[in-house]
Structure 1
Amino acid sequence: MTVDDSETLIYEKAFAAIKSAANVGAAIAALRDCYEEVAHVTYHHAQTIARGTAVDAPFVRTTYPDGWVARYLLKGYVTIDPIVREGLLRQLPFSWTEVDVGPECFELFSDFQTSGLSPNGYSIPVIDKVSRRALVSFNAHPHVTDWEGYLQRHQQDWAELAHTLHRKAVVELYGDKDPFPQISPRELETLYWISQGKESKDIAIILAISEHTVRTYMRSVRFKLDCANLSQAVAKAMALRLIRG
C-alpha cells in the first residue's frame, strides 16, 4: 500500500466517523483518533441563534482536557486568544506559527505549554453559503517532530473534513429547521443595496442587470426571509448577519 493509499483510507475513516457520530463532541473525538499525530481537535461556531435573533453565543466543542478548559475560561483567555481572533477573521487555513502574538498573550501560551500542550497547530476557517463562520483547529501531540511535514500530507483532507464537521454542527444546532434561508449571492447583493437606500433602478445599474430582475430578487428574498416588506427583510438579514449596514 502506498502512502497516498494509506492517507486516503485515513480520510475515509475520519469522514465516516464524523457522519456516524452522535453529536459534534463525539465527532471531533473520533476525528482526532484517526490521526495519530493530532492530540486535540476543537470546533468553534462563531454565533448561534436564540429566539430568532443572532447573538454572540459561540458553540464550542473541544477534546482539550477539562482542567485546561476550566483554566482557559477562569483566566479569561477566551477574550485574548489570537488563534480564535485570527481564525474568525481570516479566509484561508493557517499554521499557528503564522499568528503574531502580542505581550498580552504570553501568559496564555506559556500556560498552554506548561499544561503539557503543544504550541504547534493548524486552524481552518469555515464560511458556509449563508456566511456563517466557524473554526476547526488541530493541535499537535507534544512528541511530534515533523508537524509541518504531517500537515502538508493531510491539510487538504482536513479542509474537507472541517466542512463536514460544520454541516454536522448546523444540524445539531438547528435541526431540520435551519433558521438561515438559502439566499443566493445576487439576492444578498440586492438586499444590501436596498439597505443603503438604493431604488430598484439604481440597483439595476450597479449590478448590470434589468430592473425587472432586481424586482424579482426583491420579491424572492422577502419571501425567503418570511417578511411582509423589504424594510423588515433588511432588518432580519442584518440581525442574522447575512448583510452588514
Structure 2
Amino acid sequence: MNEQIQSLIDTVDVANDERTVKIALKNYAVSCGFERFAYLQIAASDIKTFNSYPSEWEGIYLRNRYSVIDPVVTQAKRRMAMFDWSAEGWAKHDESRELKRFRSEAMDFGIRSGITTAVRGSFQSTLMLTLASSRPRTDSSFARDAEGAVRAALCTYYRLKVLAQRPAHVLDFGLSPKELVCLRWAAKGKSMQDIADLTNVQHRTVQHYLDNVRGKLDAANLVQAVAIAKDHGLLGPE
C-alpha cells in the first residue's frame, strides 16, 4: 500500500469530526495530483455525499437528482472496481438533453476527469471514492492502488457513521490530523523515531507535533497526554 493512502487511512481512523476527515481526503487527493475528492454513498433513493466540490455544485447535483444520470455513478454500480473517467466522452453515446446539461455544468465547476473506486457497502449500498481534476485527462498512476482505495472508502464509510452517532458534547481540543496520528502511535508505545519512520516525516517534526499535543491537552508529559486523549475519546477505536 502506498504512503499516501496509508496516511489517509490512519488519519481518518483517528478523526474526531467531519472536518478532519475532509482535510485527510483533500490532502490525499492533492498528493495524488488531483484537486478535489468526492465520497458518495447510495442506497436505493437515499444519497449521502461528502466532498470538497463547490457547495453550489453540490446543491445543483442533489436538487436535480443527477446521481440517476451521472455516468460515473452508473459505471461504478456496474463495475464495482477502480476506473478512470473523463467528461469529454460523457455525451458521445448519449445525446439526451439531461446528460448534456449535466456534463456542461460539471465542467463549468471544474470537474473534467478523475478516478473512482466503487465498493459494496452494507445493505446493498454503493460506496464511491472519487478523485477529480479540472484537466481534460489526468495521470492517475499515483492513485493506482485499488486495494488501498477500497480500504480507504470503507474506512471513510465507517468513520463517518461513528461520527454521526457521537454525542454532541465531546470536547474539541483543536488537535490537527497529523497531531492525532502521532498521538495514536505514541499510545501504541511507539518511540518518536518509530513514529517518524511510520509517518515518513523527520524526528523533529514528530517532536513538534507531540509538543503541540501536550500544550493543547495541558498535559505535563506524553503519558498524561495519551491518558487525557483516551479519557475524552480522541484516539478513535482501538
Q: Cα gap change, 1:133/1:172 in structure 2, threshold over 3 Å: closer, same or farther?
A: farther
1:131–1:145 CA distance, 2 compared to 1 (3 A): closer
Taking a change above 3 Å as real, the CA distance of residues 160 and 73 of structure 1, as seen in their structure-2 partners, is closer
Q: Residue 39 of structure 2: SS of its match in structure 1?
A: strand
Offset, 1:66 = 0.8
Per-residue CA deviations over 1:181-222 (Å, capped at 9, x if unaligned) read: xxxxxxxxxxxxxxxxxxxxxxxxxxxxxxxxxxxxxxxxxx
Unpaired runs of at least 5, structure 2: 167-238
1:22 aligns with 2:3: no
SS of the aligned residue for 1:103 comes to coil
Q: For 2:12 and 2:115, how far apart are their aligned partners in 1?
A: 19
Using the size of structure 2 for normalisation, the TM-score is 0.55
Structure 1 144/86 Cα, relative in aligned 2: closer, same or farther at 3 Å?
A: closer
Question: Does 2:40 align with 1:44?
Answer: yes
Alpha-carbon distance between aligned partners in 2 of 1:44 and 1:35, rounded to the nearest angstrom: 15
Which of 100, 103, 123 is residue 95 of structure 2 equivalent to? 103
Secondary structure, counterpart of 2:46 in structure 1: coil
1:82-97 → structure 2 map (5 Å cutoff):
82-97=71-86
Mapped to 2, the partners of 1:131 and 1:71 lie a distance apart of 26
1:147 corresponding residue in structure 2: 139
Identity over the aligned pairs, expressed in percent?
A: 14
The one-letter amino acid of 1:149's match is: S
Deviation sequence 1:32-81 (CA, Å, 0-9, x none):
2134212222222213xxxxxxx732222111111221233344434321
Instruction: Tell me the SS of whatever aligns to 2:128.
Output: strand
- Is 1:66 the counterpart of 2:29 in the alignment? no
Give the direction of change, closer, same or farther, for the CA distance of 1:25–1:96 in structure 2 (3 Å limit). farther
Task: Say which one has the larger Rg.
Answer: 1
Conservation of the 8 A alpha-carbon contact between 1:94 and 1:123: yes
Distance 2:136 2:148 in 1: 19
Paired position in structure 1 for 2:4: 10
Structure 1 residues 72-106: Cα deviation after superposition (integer angstroms, max 9, x where no partner): 33444343212123323332222124986422312
Residues 25, 61 of structure 1: 8 Å contact kept: no
Structure 1 gap ranges (5+): 1-6, 48-54, 176-245
How far did residue 148 of structure 1 move?
A: 3.4
**Structure 2 SS opposite 1:89:** helix
Per-residue CA distance 1:141-165 (angstroms, 9 max, x = gap): x35975233343x444323211211
Residue pair 2:16, 2:163 contacting (<8 A) in 1 also: no
CA contact (8 A) 1:17 1:27 kept: yes
Which aligned pairs between 1:1-245 and structure 2 lie closer than 5 A?
A: 8-24=2-18, 26-36=20-30, 37-47=33-43, 56-97=45-86, 101=91, 102-104=94-96, 105-115=99-109, 117-128=110-121, 131-140=124-133, 142=134, 146-152=138-144, 154-172=145-163
**Residue 208 of structure 2: aligned partner:** none
Distance 1:35 1:72, change over 3 A: closer
Structure number with greater CO (CA < 8 Å, separation at least 6) is 2
- Kindly tell me: are residues 143 and 94 of structure 1, through their superposed partners in 2, closer, same or farther at Cα, counting changes over 3 Å? closer
103 and 26 in structure 1: CA distance in 2 versus 1, 3 angstrom threshold: farther
- Aligned-partner SS, 2:158: helix
* Aligned equivalents of 2:137, 2:78: Cα separation in 1: 29
Q: What's the C-alpha RMSD, in Å, of the aligned pairs?
A: 3.2
- Structure 2 distance, partners of 1:96, 1:145, is 8
Aligned residue for 2:8, secondary structure, equals helix
User: Does the aligned pair in 2 maintain the 1:92–1:124 contact within 8 Å?
Assistant: yes
Q: Which amino acid aligns with 1:165?
A: T
Letter aligned with residue 125 of structure 1: A
